[in-house]
Structure formats: structure tokens, C-alpha cells
Amino acid sequence: MRLFSLIVIVSLVLQFWLPWWTVMAVPLVVCCLQGSPPGRSFLISFLAVFLLWCVASVFIHLRTGGLLTGRVSILLQIGSPVLLILLTAFIGGLAAGTAGWTGALIRRLL
């Protein structure tokens, strides 16, 4: 739970000023320092960023009245803003999970 909370909080704070790929740097460093098994590191990192990006996407969706997500889903030919939100969260979670897994393997290597 501590690893999950740490990834969510640090990623959230850094995303205000840094680019999107910080969601990969945070789990990489945290999982490398934490020393969790690779499978657990992947799962926790994936779920932390999936939840973070899903909540952020829903917030943007509600804030713009669905206009932004509706237009982007039409542009990408996805069809549904809800599917766009889930796809966005899945891609972010997959990137973070891979980074967390890599961090755990680096810890094991060293």
C-alpha cells in the first residue's frame, strides 16, 4: 500500500510541471529503491497510474462538459469518450507497470 501511495502522490505532483513520461520515471526509481518482486512492482505501478490517469481523464471530461473527450474520440475513431478514458488510463498504466517491473529487475541485478 505504501508503494502504491508513493507512486500516485509523486506522479501526481510531478505531472503538474513535467511531461507525461514522468509516470515512467517515478515507478522505475521507486520500485528500484523499494525492492519488491518484479510481478508485484508491475501490478502496483500499473494500478497506481491507471487509477491516477483515469481520475484525471474523468476530471477533464467533466470539466469540459465532455467536449474535449468527445472530439478526441471522434478524431481517433474510437467512438466513445468512456472508451477513450479507459484506453488512456490503460496506456499510462502499461507504461508505468513496465517501468516498475524494470526498476525491480534493476534492483535484482545490482
Q: Are 30 and 6 in contact (CB under 8 A)?
A: yes
- Is the pLDDT at 39 greater than 90? The verdict is yes
pLDDT score of 55: 96
pLDDT score of 2: 87
Classify residue 54 by burial, with Cβ atoms within 10 Å: 0-12, 13-18, 19+. middle
pLDDT score of 50: 98
Q: Where are the domains of the chain?
A: 2-109
Whole-number mean pLDDT of the chain?
94
Crossing angle of helices 67-75/81-109, nearest 10°?
A: 80
Task: Please report which confidence band the pLDDT of residue 110 belongs to, taking 50, 70 and 90 as the band edges.
Answer: confident
Neighbour tally for 13: CB within 10 Å? 12
Crossing angle of helices 81-109/2-15, nearest 10°?
A: 120
C-alpha Rg value of the chain to the nearest Å: 15
pTM of the full structure: 0.92
- Is the pLDDT at 79 greater than 90? The verdict is no
C-alpha to C-alpha distance for 26 and 18, rounded to whole angstroms: 12
